[in-house]
């Protein structure tokens, strides 16, 4: 690492600013994040996820995001896959060419920005547990992000169990995210009642397995909770994510701040 690179990284970390990027199945969102307060310091910028979402195409989109903010510092990247030691392990809503790649190292090589990769819903969970609906909750908390697919994060006593990926459990004979994701609601043109009852079946399956104290519902549908909340019947308390669809960007930035200190 060059002296100039080290000093630049130190400056950004001292300022507590990180570019948070949330790569989703349909959109890549980014903003500069104040990691001390969990706040967006810029307007959120969104770019459609390239199709197919190959490594080359997605990294080009990340480079476009960096150019949008004229950014030269650390990046926290929420990624729609199981991620272990920066290596992508699964690929449900992205191209399978990602599997086995050290995506953080590749992004850093192509952009020159130190990068940390984290599962996208784990990232959202970090934001909600530190600044949002899960703050100070020491019980078992499930974060369920419902969008193109369904992703989950599990926290117990404030500690994360990484890469839970519970969108793949079976519900009514189908993979959960193929039954109750928001993309399915849109594709099948389901009304809120019909879809809300499907989501309720899925959440009941999670509750039976984990008996959480709190479920935080994230993803794009978190902003429309009032449309379907009456159809959700659980023992656990359920609330929409405080940070709504910004949670992934905020949490990715928090994770990078922790992991990338120069």
Tokens 């080359």, located at residue: 56
What confidence tens digit (pLDDT) does each residue in 162-171 have?
999 999 999 9
Half-sphere exposure of 60 (CA within 13 A, CB side): 10
3-state secondary structure of 211: coil
What confidence tens digit (pLDDT) does each residue in 216-259 have?
999 989 999 999 999 999 999 999 999 988 999 999 999 999 99
On average, the pLDDT of the chain sits at 94
Angle at alpha carbon of residue 156, lines to 251 and 21, rounded to 5°: 10
Tokens 């990340």, located at residue: 62
What confidence tens digit (pLDDT) does each residue in 1-47 have?
454 545 455 555 556 899 999 999 889 999 999 999 999 999 999 99
- Which stretch of DSSP H or E encloses residue 21? strand 17-23
Say whether pLDDT at 146 is over 60: yes
> What is the model's pLDDT at position 34?
97
Q: Is the dihedral of CA 100, 102, 107, 109 positive or negative?
A: negative
> What is the model's pLDDT at position 92?
84
Q: Which domains does the chain have, with CATH numbers?
A: 3-122+247-259 (3.30.420.40), 133-241 (3.30.420.40)
Q: What Rg do the C-alpha atoms of the chain give, in angstroms?
A: 18
Percentage of the chain surpassing pLDDT 70? 94
> What is the model's pLDDT at position 25?
86
Which residue blocks in the chain are alpha helix, DSSP H? 3-14, 55-69, 103-111, 120-131, 176-180, 182-187, 192-210, 247-259
Residue 38 DSSP class: T
What confidence tens digit (pLDDT) does each residue in 202-213 have?
999 999 999 999
What confidence tens digit (pLDDT) does each residue in 96-106 have?
999 999 999 99
> What is the model's pLDDT at position 3?
46
Strand partners, 144: 152, 217
């Amino acid at each position: 690492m060059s002296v100039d690179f080290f000093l630049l990284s130190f400056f950004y970390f001292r300022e507590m600013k990180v570019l948070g990027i949330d790569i989703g199945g349909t959109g890549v969102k980014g903003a500069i994040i104040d990691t001390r307060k969990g706040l967006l310091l810029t307007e959120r910028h969104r770019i459609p996820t390239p199709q197919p979402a190959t490594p080359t195409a997605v990294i080009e989109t990340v480079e476009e995001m960096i150019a949008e903010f004229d950014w030269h510092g650390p990046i926290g990247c929420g990624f729609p896959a199981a991620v272990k030691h920066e290596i992508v392990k699964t690929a449900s809503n992205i191209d399978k060419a990602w599997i086995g790649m050290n995506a953080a190292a590749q992004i850093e090589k192509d952009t020159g920005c130190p990068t940390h990769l984290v599962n996208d819903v784990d990232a959202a969970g970090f934001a909600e547990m530190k600044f949002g609906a899960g703050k100070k909750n020491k019980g078992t908390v499930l974060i369920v992000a419902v969008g193109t697919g369904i992703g989950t994060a599990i926290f117990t006593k404030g500690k994360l169990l990484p890469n839970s990926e519970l969108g793949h459990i079976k519900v009514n004979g189908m993979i959960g995210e193929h039954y109750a994701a928001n993309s399915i609601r849109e594709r099948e043109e389901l009304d809120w009642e019909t879809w809300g009852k499907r989501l309720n079946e899925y959440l009941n399956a999670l509750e039976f397995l984990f008996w959480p104290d709190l479920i935080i519902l994230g993803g794009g549908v978190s902003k429309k909770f009032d449309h379907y909340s009456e159809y959700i019947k659980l023992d656990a308390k359920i609330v929409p994510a405080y940070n709504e669809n910004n949670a992934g960007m905020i949490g990715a930035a928090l994770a990078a701040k922790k992991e990338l200190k120069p």
